[in-house]
A and B are shown apart, each in its own frame.
Chain A
Amino acid sequence: MWFTMSVLFLIGLVYSIKYLNNPDPYTDLKALTANQVGVVFGFCGLVTGSMWARFTWGTWWTFSEPKMNLAALALTIYVAYFILRSAFDDPEKRAKLSAVYNIFAACTMPFLLYIIPRQLPSLHPGASGNPAFSQITSPSLRLIFYPAVIGFIGLAFWIMDIVLRYKKLQYEWEKDR
Protein backbone atom coordinates (compact mmCIF):
# COMPACT_ATOMS: atom_id res chain seq x y z
CA MET A 1 0.00 0.00 0.00
CA TRP A 2 2.76 2.44 0.87
CA PHE A 3 4.56 1.57 -2.34
CA THR A 4 1.44 2.33 -4.35
CA MET A 5 0.78 5.52 -2.41
CA SER A 6 4.33 6.74 -2.95
CA VAL A 7 4.08 6.09 -6.68
CA LEU A 8 0.76 7.95 -6.89
CA PHE A 9 2.01 10.94 -4.90
CA LEU A 10 5.05 11.04 -7.15
CA ILE A 11 2.73 11.17 -10.17
CA GLY A 12 0.78 13.95 -8.47
CA LEU A 13 4.04 15.88 -7.94
CA VAL A 14 5.04 15.44 -11.59
CA TYR A 15 1.68 16.73 -12.81
CA SER A 16 1.75 19.67 -10.40
CA ILE A 17 5.13 20.74 -11.72
CA LYS A 18 3.83 20.21 -15.24
CA TYR A 19 0.83 22.38 -14.47
CA LEU A 20 2.98 25.25 -13.21
CA ASN A 21 5.10 24.93 -16.33
CA ASN A 22 2.14 24.86 -18.68
CA PRO A 23 -1.27 25.73 -17.18
CA ASP A 24 -3.69 23.18 -18.57
CA PRO A 25 -6.82 22.31 -16.54
CA TYR A 26 -6.50 18.62 -17.41
CA THR A 27 -3.02 18.44 -15.91
CA ASP A 28 -4.42 19.86 -12.68
CA LEU A 29 -7.19 17.24 -12.73
CA LYS A 30 -4.56 14.53 -13.20
CA ALA A 31 -2.62 15.75 -10.17
CA LEU A 32 -5.82 15.88 -8.12
CA THR A 33 -6.80 12.36 -9.16
CA ALA A 34 -3.37 10.91 -8.38
CA ASN A 35 -3.47 12.47 -4.92
CA GLN A 36 -7.02 11.30 -4.28
CA VAL A 37 -6.30 7.67 -5.13
CA GLY A 38 -3.00 7.98 -3.27
CA VAL A 39 -4.79 9.02 -0.10
CA VAL A 40 -7.19 6.06 -0.43
CA PHE A 41 -4.24 3.68 -0.63
CA GLY A 42 -2.43 5.49 2.16
CA PHE A 43 -5.50 5.08 4.33
CA CYS A 44 -5.50 1.36 3.53
CA GLY A 45 -1.87 1.21 4.60
CA LEU A 46 -2.57 3.06 7.83
CA VAL A 47 -5.52 0.89 8.85
CA THR A 48 -3.84 -2.40 7.99
CA GLY A 49 -0.63 -1.17 9.62
CA SER A 50 -2.63 -0.47 12.75
CA MET A 51 -3.96 -4.01 12.61
CA TRP A 52 -0.45 -5.36 12.21
CA ALA A 53 0.62 -3.30 15.22
CA ARG A 54 -2.17 -4.84 17.28
CA PHE A 55 -0.73 -8.31 16.75
CA THR A 56 2.97 -7.56 16.94
CA TRP A 57 3.07 -4.81 19.56
CA GLY A 58 -0.25 -5.51 21.27
CA THR A 59 -1.79 -2.10 20.63
CA TRP A 60 -3.81 -0.54 17.83
CA TRP A 61 -2.07 2.80 18.09
CA THR A 62 0.90 4.08 20.01
CA PHE A 63 2.18 7.63 20.14
CA SER A 64 5.72 6.52 20.90
CA GLU A 65 6.05 5.03 17.41
CA PRO A 66 7.28 7.78 15.07
CA LYS A 67 6.62 6.04 11.76
CA MET A 68 2.97 5.43 12.56
CA ASN A 69 2.27 9.00 13.68
CA LEU A 70 4.26 10.63 10.91
CA ALA A 71 2.43 8.50 8.33
CA ALA A 72 -0.84 9.79 9.77
CA LEU A 73 0.55 13.33 9.64
CA ALA A 74 1.57 12.84 6.00
CA LEU A 75 -1.97 11.78 5.17
CA THR A 76 -3.44 14.81 6.93
CA ILE A 77 -1.15 17.04 4.86
CA TYR A 78 -2.80 15.55 1.77
CA VAL A 79 -6.29 15.89 3.25
CA ALA A 80 -5.42 19.57 3.74
CA TYR A 81 -4.71 19.68 -0.01
CA PHE A 82 -8.34 18.76 -0.75
CA ILE A 83 -9.60 21.29 1.79
CA LEU A 84 -7.41 23.95 0.20
CA ARG A 85 -8.93 23.11 -3.19
CA SER A 86 -12.46 23.42 -1.92
CA ALA A 87 -11.68 26.90 -0.56
CA PHE A 88 -11.39 28.47 -4.04
CA ASP A 89 -14.12 29.17 -6.54
CA ASP A 90 -11.89 30.41 -9.33
CA PRO A 91 -10.59 27.24 -11.06
CA GLU A 92 -7.39 28.84 -12.35
CA LYS A 93 -6.42 30.23 -8.96
CA ARG A 94 -7.35 26.94 -7.31
CA ALA A 95 -5.26 24.91 -9.72
CA LYS A 96 -2.21 27.16 -9.36
CA LEU A 97 -2.24 27.34 -5.55
CA SER A 98 -2.99 23.67 -5.09
CA ALA A 99 -0.14 22.78 -7.45
CA VAL A 100 2.25 24.84 -5.32
CA TYR A 101 0.88 23.28 -2.15
CA ASN A 102 1.17 19.80 -3.64
CA ILE A 103 4.85 20.31 -4.41
CA PHE A 104 5.37 21.26 -0.77
CA ALA A 105 3.35 18.25 0.42
CA ALA A 106 5.22 15.81 -1.81
CA CYS A 107 8.55 17.20 -0.59
CA THR A 108 7.66 16.54 3.06
CA MET A 109 6.72 12.95 2.23
CA PRO A 110 10.22 11.32 2.12
CA PHE A 111 11.22 13.11 5.32
CA LEU A 112 8.09 12.11 7.20
CA LEU A 113 8.07 8.50 6.05
CA TYR A 114 11.72 7.59 5.65
CA ILE A 115 14.22 9.99 7.18
CA ILE A 116 12.77 11.09 10.54
CA PRO A 117 11.52 7.61 11.60
CA ARG A 118 15.05 6.26 11.07
CA GLN A 119 16.52 8.88 13.38
CA LEU A 120 14.23 8.15 16.30
CA PRO A 121 13.97 5.07 18.53
CA SER A 122 11.32 2.82 17.03
CA LEU A 123 10.06 -0.74 16.96
CA HIS A 124 9.01 -0.59 13.34
CA PRO A 125 11.00 -2.88 11.02
CA GLY A 126 13.61 -0.98 9.09
CA ALA A 127 14.06 1.72 11.74
CA SER A 128 17.02 2.45 14.08
CA GLY A 129 18.87 -0.78 13.52
CA ASN A 130 15.83 -3.01 13.33
CA PRO A 131 15.90 -5.51 10.49
CA ALA A 132 14.31 -4.04 7.38
CA PHE A 133 11.67 -5.77 5.33
CA SER A 134 14.13 -7.52 3.07
CA GLN A 135 15.97 -9.07 6.03
CA ILE A 136 13.09 -10.61 7.99
CA THR A 137 11.10 -12.04 5.10
CA SER A 138 11.90 -15.21 3.27
CA PRO A 139 12.63 -15.24 -0.48
CA SER A 140 9.40 -17.14 -1.19
CA LEU A 141 7.39 -14.41 0.56
CA ARG A 142 9.18 -11.74 -1.43
CA LEU A 143 8.31 -13.64 -4.58
CA ILE A 144 4.65 -13.02 -3.71
CA PHE A 145 5.09 -9.54 -2.27
CA TYR A 146 6.73 -7.73 -5.16
CA PRO A 147 4.31 -8.97 -7.85
CA ALA A 148 1.52 -7.94 -5.45
CA VAL A 149 3.05 -4.46 -5.27
CA ILE A 150 3.12 -4.29 -9.06
CA GLY A 151 -0.46 -5.59 -9.19
CA PHE A 152 -1.71 -2.98 -6.75
CA ILE A 153 0.09 -0.22 -8.63
CA GLY A 154 -1.68 -1.48 -11.77
CA LEU A 155 -5.00 -1.49 -9.95
CA ALA A 156 -4.33 2.04 -8.73
CA PHE A 157 -3.58 3.18 -12.29
CA TRP A 158 -6.85 1.69 -13.48
CA ILE A 159 -8.87 3.36 -10.70
CA MET A 160 -7.02 6.60 -11.41
CA ASP A 161 -7.96 6.37 -15.08
CA ILE A 162 -11.66 5.89 -14.25
CA VAL A 163 -11.67 8.78 -11.78
CA LEU A 164 -9.84 10.97 -14.29
CA ARG A 165 -12.35 10.22 -17.06
CA TYR A 166 -15.15 11.08 -14.66
CA LYS A 167 -13.48 14.34 -13.65
CA LYS A 168 -12.83 15.33 -17.26
CA LEU A 169 -16.49 14.76 -18.17
CA GLN A 170 -17.62 16.67 -15.13
CA TYR A 171 -15.25 19.52 -15.99
CA GLU A 172 -16.56 19.75 -19.55
CA TRP A 173 -20.11 19.52 -18.31
CA GLU A 174 -19.69 22.31 -15.75
CA LYS A 175 -17.88 24.47 -18.30
CA ASP A 176 -20.68 24.23 -20.89
CA ARG A 177 -23.37 25.33 -18.53
Chain B
Amino acid sequence: MITNIIQQDTSTVVDTLTKAYESKWHAANNLSSSSTIIQDMASHNLIFIVLGVTLIIWFILLFFIIRLDKKVGTLEREFEHEQSITETGDS
Protein backbone atom coordinates (compact mmCIF):
# COMPACT_ATOMS: atom_id res chain seq x y z
CA MET B 1 0.00 0.00 0.00
CA ILE B 2 2.63 2.46 1.10
CA THR B 3 5.00 1.45 -1.67
CA ASN B 4 2.20 1.98 -4.17
CA ILE B 5 1.70 5.55 -2.99
CA ILE B 6 5.42 6.26 -3.15
CA GLN B 7 5.64 4.88 -6.65
CA GLN B 8 2.70 6.95 -7.81
CA ASP B 9 4.22 10.05 -6.27
CA THR B 10 7.59 9.64 -7.88
CA SER B 11 6.13 8.93 -11.30
CA THR B 12 4.10 12.15 -11.29
CA VAL B 13 7.05 14.34 -10.24
CA VAL B 14 8.53 16.26 -13.14
CA ASP B 15 12.18 15.37 -13.39
CA THR B 16 13.93 18.47 -14.67
CA LEU B 17 17.50 17.41 -14.01
CA THR B 18 17.55 14.16 -15.93
CA LYS B 19 15.87 15.66 -18.97
CA ALA B 20 18.24 18.59 -19.18
CA TYR B 21 21.38 16.59 -18.55
CA GLU B 22 20.48 13.26 -20.06
CA SER B 23 22.81 13.65 -22.99
CA LYS B 24 25.65 14.96 -20.82
CA TRP B 25 25.19 12.69 -17.84
CA HIS B 26 26.88 9.37 -18.57
CA ALA B 27 25.04 7.50 -15.83
CA ALA B 28 21.69 8.45 -17.39
CA ASN B 29 22.46 6.93 -20.79
CA ASN B 30 21.58 3.41 -19.70
CA LEU B 31 19.42 4.29 -16.74
CA SER B 32 17.15 1.25 -17.00
CA SER B 33 20.10 -1.10 -16.65
CA SER B 34 21.84 0.83 -13.86
CA SER B 35 21.56 0.14 -10.15
CA THR B 36 18.38 0.78 -8.17
CA ILE B 37 19.99 3.62 -6.25
CA ILE B 38 20.62 5.61 -9.42
CA GLN B 39 17.14 4.84 -10.75
CA ASP B 40 15.56 5.94 -7.51
CA MET B 41 17.59 9.14 -7.42
CA ALA B 42 16.72 9.98 -11.01
CA SER B 43 13.02 9.50 -10.32
CA HIS B 44 12.97 12.19 -7.63
CA ASN B 45 13.10 15.84 -8.37
CA LEU B 46 16.69 16.12 -7.30
CA ILE B 47 17.03 19.86 -7.54
CA PHE B 48 15.05 20.36 -4.33
CA ILE B 49 17.43 18.11 -2.43
CA VAL B 50 20.37 20.07 -3.84
CA LEU B 51 18.63 23.28 -2.81
CA GLY B 52 18.02 21.94 0.70
CA VAL B 53 21.61 20.80 1.11
CA THR B 54 23.08 24.11 -0.02
CA LEU B 55 20.66 26.08 2.17
CA ILE B 56 21.59 24.00 5.22
CA ILE B 57 25.29 24.60 4.59
CA TRP B 58 24.90 28.33 4.08
CA PHE B 59 22.68 28.80 7.11
CA ILE B 60 25.03 26.90 9.41
CA LEU B 61 28.00 28.94 8.15
CA LEU B 62 26.00 32.17 8.41
CA PHE B 63 24.99 31.30 11.97
CA PHE B 64 28.63 30.67 12.87
CA ILE B 65 29.76 33.97 11.36
CA ILE B 66 26.98 35.95 13.07
CA ARG B 67 27.95 34.36 16.39
CA LEU B 68 31.55 35.40 15.76
CA ASP B 69 30.40 38.92 14.91
CA LYS B 70 28.58 39.15 18.24
CA LYS B 71 31.64 37.93 20.13
CA VAL B 72 33.83 40.55 18.42
CA GLY B 73 31.23 43.19 19.29
CA THR B 74 31.30 42.20 22.96
CA LEU B 75 35.10 42.40 23.02
CA GLU B 76 34.97 45.79 21.32
CA ARG B 77 32.54 47.15 23.87
CA GLU B 78 34.66 45.82 26.74
CA PHE B 79 37.71 47.45 25.21
CA GLU B 80 35.98 50.84 24.78
CA HIS B 81 34.61 50.63 28.29
CA GLU B 82 38.06 49.98 29.72
CA GLN B 83 39.53 52.82 27.64
CA SER B 84 36.93 55.32 28.87
CA ILE B 85 37.69 54.28 32.47
CA THR B 86 41.46 54.83 32.03
CA GLU B 87 40.85 58.18 30.27
CA THR B 88 38.67 59.50 33.09
CA GLY B 89 41.16 58.08 35.61
CA ASP B 90 44.04 60.01 34.01
CA SER B 91 42.23 63.37 33.86
- A interface with B by C-beta (< 8 Å): 1, 37, 40, 43-44, 47-48, 51-52, 55-56, 131, 136-141, 155, 159, 162-163, 166, 169-170, 173
**Chain B, interface SS category:** helix
Please measure, in the bound complex, the distance between the C-alpha atom of A162 and the C-alpha atom of B56, giving whole angstroms: 22
Report which of A139, A140, A162 forms a contact with B68, defined as CB distance below 8 A.
A162
B contact residues around A138 at 8 Å (CB)? 24-27
Please measure, in the bound complex, the distance between the C-alpha atom of A47 and the C-alpha atom of B49, giving whole angstroms: 12
> What 8 A-B pairs come out closest when comparing CB atoms?
A48-B53, A138-B26, A138-B25, A44-B57, A44-B60, A40-B64, A55-B49, A48-B56
B contact residues around A141 at 8 Å (CB)? 25
A contact residues around B72 at 8 Å (CB)? 166
Chain A nearest CB, measured from B46 CB (Å): 8
Asked whether B75 lies within 8 Å of A173 as measured between CB atoms, the reply is yes
Please measure, in the bound complex, the distance between the C-alpha atom of A136 and the C-alpha atom of B71, giving whole angstroms: 43
